[in-house]
Each structure stands twice: as structure tokens, then as C-alpha cells.
Amino acid sequence: MENSKVIIVTNIPNQYRVPLFNELNNQLILQGKELLVVFAAKSYQARKSIIDMSECNFNYHILGPSIFSSIEQKRGLFFYSGLIRLLLKEKPKTLIVGGFSISSLKVAFLQFFTAFNFIIWSGTFEAESTKARPVRLIIRKWLIGRANHLIAYSTKAKQYFISLGAEEKKVVNVGNTVDVEFFSSINRTIDELHRKNGIYHLTYVGYLTSRKNVGLLLNVVKELKAYRTDFVLDIIGDGEFRLELEQLAKELEISSFINFHGFMQKKNLPSVLTNSAIFLFQTDFDIWGLVLNEAMAVGIPCLASINAGATEDLIQEGTTGFKVDFNDSISVAKKIDYLVRYPLKMEDVGKNASDFIQLNYSLSSCSSRMISVI
């Protein structure tokens, strides 16, 4: 009997990937294939999201601890101890490995000794602030040369593969996704879309880190209050810069316009997103940004950073959202004020965003594109 096992090697189970792996497994079963997901670890120190492994409707294996476990837990840099031994035992037909990681190197070397279909699945691209060192570029080019196929989850990631020497025909952009049905099922009335209790709620969801640079949103709030005062910015998330942001809000005299809610589990996000009039997706760099998928699925008009991979693929300017440079706080404030003044436009953009996500970036559609490569 032909070996039909597909193995995906990735870092940890998370709230975004588990639903995707469930859908991939369902579609692979229909093709007579078997899926096994190999995780480097169950979690690591910086991760606050709680994952119920009973929600995994696919076969999985969590690798054991290595001698570098303390580094893995603190930095989220995994060494994939025992991976080669497991792969030699399982003998997969297809091996999908996430990114240009240590696991990718191990799998590429294993390919010298046993045959399988080697696929790299990555969202990596370069910005000015994230340029890779020459040695890392050499390794990435070598890995791309060893891979049979390349799965990108953004246009920018596909372009990056090609810039490193990949043949365009080997690269497929499958997109990136969340459990769209979970978020699109959130019921929002027109009144909720426009304002809640006389206040328009602007929303940010994400880590409070230097890379996210959420301080730019506080500058937007400072500019916006010159136009109107019937709004508040809900900041959902935590991180090492929270205290600094709270202090900045005081210095800018906008504390009354900011609510710091802290970290929230996925199950608690609907209560916040239901009240959100406009979603502000700020980041100085993100290879994708799945919170944008979530907000669009709910039907919230989004202002999305030009520095995120998701923005190019998901935002059709003025139709499914708006591409903005949050460094230009005056322009962003004017855009928010415009949307609030024209609620029908806000409603249109939100509906278009939800329809677009459900049609093109559902679990089913992204899984189907991945399986076309497998």
C-alpha cells in the first residue's frame, strides 16, 4: 500500500493553527491520506493563551524536552529534540516544515538519506528593520533549493521566496487564516457598529511590544480628540511596554480616552469586538497579522498597517478596509473621523470585509489551497 502520511512540523499548538489542522485533517481523510502534526513543545514561557488539546481532531506528537529546554522556554527557540528519530519511524510521504527553522535544517539533511516530498511553509519576508545576516541568507537559499515545493501565506512571502532564487512555479500563496466561522457568527446590530452607549469604540488587539509600537496609536488618539471626544480606544493585550504606554497616555493627557484591558483568551474576544466601531491594526512589522482576519470576519471596518503582510492581501483600499501609515497620526485621525461621520460607509466596508474573508480566507479555502500543493 502506498505511503500516504503527511507530517507537519511546527513549534507549538496555538488557537489559530488548531482549527486549521482540524480542517486539513478532514480534507486529507477524504483523499485517503493521514495527517500527523509534530509540535516542538506544548508551549513556552511568553505564551499566555491556553490551548485545550482535546480540541485537536488530528493525530499529533509533542517532542520531548532537550538539554536546551531552559532556552526554549524563555526565548521560544526550539531545537526539535528527537525529530529525526520520529521521522525515520513514521516514514512520511510528505513533510511540511514551518519556516526557516532548526527543524527545516534537520529535515533538509534527512532528505539526503530517505525520500519524501519536502515542503517549506513560511510567511517570512524582509523589511528594512529585519534584514537577514549573510549567513542566514545562504542557509535560506540552500533550504529553498532542497525543498520540492514552497507554501507562502502572503504575497510578500511569495516574493521573498522568489527573491532568494525559488522558481515561481514552485511557490504557492495559500493565505493565512483563523476560525472564520467563530468570528463571523458574532452578531452586530447597526447601532452597535456605529456607537455603544454614546461612545465609539476603537479597538487594538495584540502584544504590547517594541515591534508593535502601539505608542503610535496614542498619538492618533491625541490628534483625534481635536476633532471629537465621543470615542475611546480599547487596547487588548499585554507586554513589557504596557507601563510605558500608560505613562505616555498620561503625558499626552489622553488617559480618559484609553482603556487597557490586558490579555484576553480567544473565547473572550467576541464581547470586545461586538462593541468595536473601528479596528486599528498597528504594527511596525508582522509577517501576517491574524487579528486582522478576525476583525474583518466580524465585520469591523479596519485601518491596517502598511507594514504587515496581511494588509497587502486582505485590504482592498476603501472596499474591504484602509491601508494606513500610523506614523502619520494626523492622516489616520482624519480617516477615523471621516468614517464616524459617514456611518453607511463604515457599515459598507465592514460588510465587504466580512464577505471577503469568508469567501477567500476561510479554513476550508486555505486548507484546499494547501492540499493542492501536497
| 332 and 203 within one domain | yes
Grid cell 463604515 — which residue? 346
pLDDT value of residue 29:
96
| 100 and 171 within one domain | yes
- Cross-strand bridge partners of residue 62: 39
- pLDDT per residue as tens digits for the range 163-174: 999 999 999 999
- N residues, the chain: 374
> 16: domain range?
5-179+362-373
- pTM for the complete prediction? 0.92
Positive/negative CA dihedral, 216, 221, 223, 227: positive
Nearest to 64 by CA among 76, 81, 52, 84: 81
Which residues of the chain are modeled with pLDDT < 70?
A: 1-3, 45-49, 66-76, 128-130, 187-196
| 195 and 318 within one domain | yes
pLDDT value of residue 190:
45
| 189 and 100 within one domain | no
CA distances 59 to 3, 7, 328, Å, are 16, 10, 47
pLDDT value of residue 37:
98
| 159 and 280 within one domain | no
Burial class (CB in 10 A: 0-12, 13-18, 19+), 169: exposed
DSSP 8-state code for residue 256: G
pLDDT value of residue 94:
97
Q: DSSP for 95-126, please give it.
A: EEEESSSHHHHHHHHHTTTS--EEEEEE----
| 118 and 198 within one domain | no
Q: Cα separation of 108 and 8, whole Å? A: 14
pLDDT value of residue 1:
40
| 268 and 201 within one domain | yes
Nearest to 340 by CA among 278, 279, 292: 278
| 302 and 211 within one domain | yes
| 367 and 298 within one domain | no
Positive/negative CA dihedral, 98, 100, 106, 111: positive
pLDDT value of residue 313:
98
pLDDT value of residue 41:
87
| 210 and 173 within one domain | no
- CATH, residue 33: 3.40.50.2000
Burial class (CB in 10 A: 0-12, 13-18, 19+), 17: buried
- pLDDT per residue as tens digits for the range 219-276: 999 999 999 999 999 999 999 999 999 999 999 999 999 999 999 988 788 778 888 9
Q: Cα separation of 256 and 135, whole Å? A: 49
- As for how many domains the chain has, the answer is 2
The radius of gyration computed from the CA coordinates of the chain, to the nearest angstrom, equals 21
- pLDDT per residue as tens digits for the range 95-114: 999 999 999 999 999 999 99
| 25 and 131 within one domain | yes
Q: Do residues 320 and 296 make contact, with C-beta atoms less than 8 angstroms apart? A: yes
| 337 and 196 within one domain | yes
